[in-house]
Each structure stands twice: as C-alpha cells, then as structure tokens.
Structure 1
Amino acid sequence: MTGLTAFTVLVLLVGLERVAELVVSKRNAAWSMAHGGRETGRGHYPVMVVLHTGFLVAMLVEAWVVRPDVPAALAWSMLALVVAAQALRWWCIATLGRRWNTRVIVVPGLPPVTGGPYRFLPHPNYVAVVVEGVALPMVHLAWITAVVFTVANAVLLSVRIRVEDAALATLPAPVAGPVDA
C-alpha cells in the first residue's frame, strides 16, 4: 500500500469516526431535549458542519493533487498526534456521557461536569480538534489544508466557546464527587 493510499484510508476512517460521533450526538441530544434541554448557538452549527466536512475532503484533494514526498518521521509523528487527539476526544465523550453532543444543549439543573479531562481544561474537546486540524493533514504534508482549517477553525471556535460559556454559566455551581447525568 502506498503512503497516499494509507493516508486516504486514514482520512476515511476518521470520516467513519465522525459518523459514529453523529450517531452518539443525535441520541444524546434527544436525551437532553427530553430532559428539558435548551439549545443555543444554532446559527454557527451549519458553518461547523461545512468546515469539518470540507476539512476531510480538502486534505484528500490536496494530497492527491500535490502528491508530496512525505518524510516518514513527519508522517509517524503526526499520526501519533492524531491518535492522541482521538483518545482525548473520546475521553471527553465518555466523561460527558449523555450530555455530550455536537450542539450546545444545556439541561437546566444539572451541574457542570468537572471530572475527566474537564479537571484540567474548560474545553478539552477543542484541544483535540485543534491538534487534529494540524496533525491529520500533515500526516501526508497537506499543509495548505492544515493552515486554512486552523485559521477558519480559530474563528469558529471563538464564536462556539463564547456560546458554550454563556450557556454553561446558567448551570448551578459544580458539586463535589461524581454526578449521575
């Protein structure tokens, strides 16, 4: 298998992982809404979907058109970062449980989650997105995609994090110990 073919398979696997996320997200969003959840920030959501879908397509197009000679050390180190980003993403999903979804939905009365990676960072999932946004295209030296996505994603995250922080500010103060959501 060539490096370009392996990269294509990797991107397709990440795409399948995104589909799995959407299945989990849809189920969890329905649970949140059934428990009185309120959604905010709907306006930026379609932009996020287009950006993340375009990201996957763009890096494949760039890699197939440019066909760069990729140093093995770069490919392997970036792949390690991609795997670490996926692990962090799924740690976030597991920690938030039924509360995790791709939209901004807050269930009134539930305190913020402060365990797992949220002990260390207020938005650890976005750390995973940022790392993946650089590392995944750089597995095959698709640096244009990495730069364009990173800049566009920074703009999107500046909006998204403000929306999330405002929504989370409506929750009660965190409680000590585990919370069954």
Structure 2
Amino acid sequence: MELPLYSQPPYLYVFLGSIGLWVVSDLSIGVRHGDQSDTTQDQWSKHVIGGTVSGGVLAAALGPELLSVPALPRPVGTFWLGIGLVFVGIAIRQYAVWTLGEYFSLEVDVDEADDVVTAGPYRWVRHPSYTGGFLSLVGLGVASGTWMGVGVVTGAGLLAYGYRIRVEERALRETLGESYDEYTDQTPHRLFPGLW
C-alpha cells in the first residue's frame, strides 16, 4: 500500500505545520477571550466541538494509514487545495473573532446588554467564526487525499458546529429577542451564503 502524500516529506511538514498553525490560532483566541462566565448557556457545546473536531482530524489522518481507501484525484494539487482551505479558514475565524471583539466568548454566553453585531463577515453569515473553523477542518480532510478523510471531517464538522449553532441561536433568541430576530431576517444563512 502506497503511503498517503501528506505522510511523506516535505508534505508531512506542511501538513503538521498547518495543524500547528490552526491550533496556535485557536489558542491565541482562547488567551484573548478565555474568561469564563458564571452564566454560561453552553450546554457542553464547546466540548462537543473540541472532541468531535479532534476525532474527525485523527480519523482523517489515520484512516489512510490503516485502511485501503479511495484517493482523491490529483494528489499534489488536492493536497495544496486542502492546505489553502486551512489557511483561509484560519483567516476567516480570526477576522470574525476580531469583529466581535468583547462580545466573543469560547462558551455560549449571551447577556441582555450585548448588541447584535452585523459588521464585517456578520453581514454575510450569522456564524462566520464557525465557517472558518469548518473550512479549516474540511481543508485537513482534503489534504489527507482521500474521500474518506473528506467525508469524516465534513460529518464531524456538521455534527459539532450544527449542535453549537443550535445552542447559540436559542440563547441569542431568548436573551436578545427581537433584535436578533431582525438580524436573522436580514442575514438568513448560518455558515455559508446561499447554502446554510
């Protein structure tokens, strides 16, 4: 069985470096916005995202090493497309967090004094931070070079971010009421314009 491209130098270093950059990027967000509130409405969604995303990445990376799975076409181009998606996802997530500023939290924590932010990427989708995370996740699946890798991380991302969005939107509607309802009317898509 031929080794997957991402497990061969120099691609291995780029693959691991991309994962490292993604982790450091999220750690930097945690350092800036890691204060936890006593009034969290998170319902374990932070842990669901962490566990599901980690499991998806691990399965996508180890699957081709352990199983004979169909490869994506054009391995070198596919690898670089995946790495590009990781970087684009990191940039979108950082931009979304920066735009929210003091309103961003790692846990779902909505206060009545919060304002609905409609600037920057929030003009196009309601949860661009999760759009960025999801793109990075799918990028690693694509870079793994297999259909299984793409499928596993896509499923993990939809499960994790779908749950988080459901929890967060319930908290936003209950706490911010009409102002959030107006925003959802103006910005109907959660993750991807025109799709979802």
Q: State the TM-score, normalizing by the size of structure 2.
A: 0.70
Would you say how many aligned residue pairs link Structure 1 and Structure 2? 169
Residue in 1 that maps onto 2:92? 88
- The 3-state SS of whatever aligns with 1:106 is coil
Other-structure match for 1:56 = 57
Residue by residue over 1:5-45, the C-alpha shift from the partner in whole angstroms, topping out at 9 and shown as x without a partner, is: 42454335424532442353254241x63xxx731132333
Aligned residue for 1:111, secondary structure, equals: coil
Deviation, structure 1 residue 105: 1.4
CA deviations on 1:96-142 (whole Å, 9 max, x unpaired) are 12332332112330202111100111111222233223221211314
In structure 1, runs of 5+ residues without a counterpart are 175-181
My pick for the range that moved more, 67-76 or 49-58, is 67-76
Q: Check whether the contact 1:78–1:138 (CA below 8 A) recurs between aligned residues.
A: yes
The aligned counterpart of 2:169 is: 165
Question: Cα gap change, 1:24/1:158 in structure 2, threshold over 3 Å: closer, same or farther?
Answer: closer
Distance 2:12 2:85 in 1: 14
The answer for the alignment partner of 2:140 in structure 1 is 136
Which consecutive residues of structure 2, in runs of 5 or more, have no partner in the other structure? 181-196
1:108-123 matches, within 5 Å, as: 108-123=112-127
1:85 and 1:131 in contact (8 A); partners too: yes
Distance, in Å, in 1 between the alignment partners of 2:64 and 2:106 is 28
Asked if structure 2 preserves the Cα contact closer than 8 Å seen for 1:134 and 1:150, the reply is yes
C-alpha distance in 1 between matches for 2:125 and 2:161: 15
Identity, % of aligned pairs?
26
Equivalent residue letter for 2:48: V
Q: Secondary structure at the match of 2:113?
A: coil
Change (3 A) 1:11 1:40: farther
Moved over 3 A (4+): 63-70
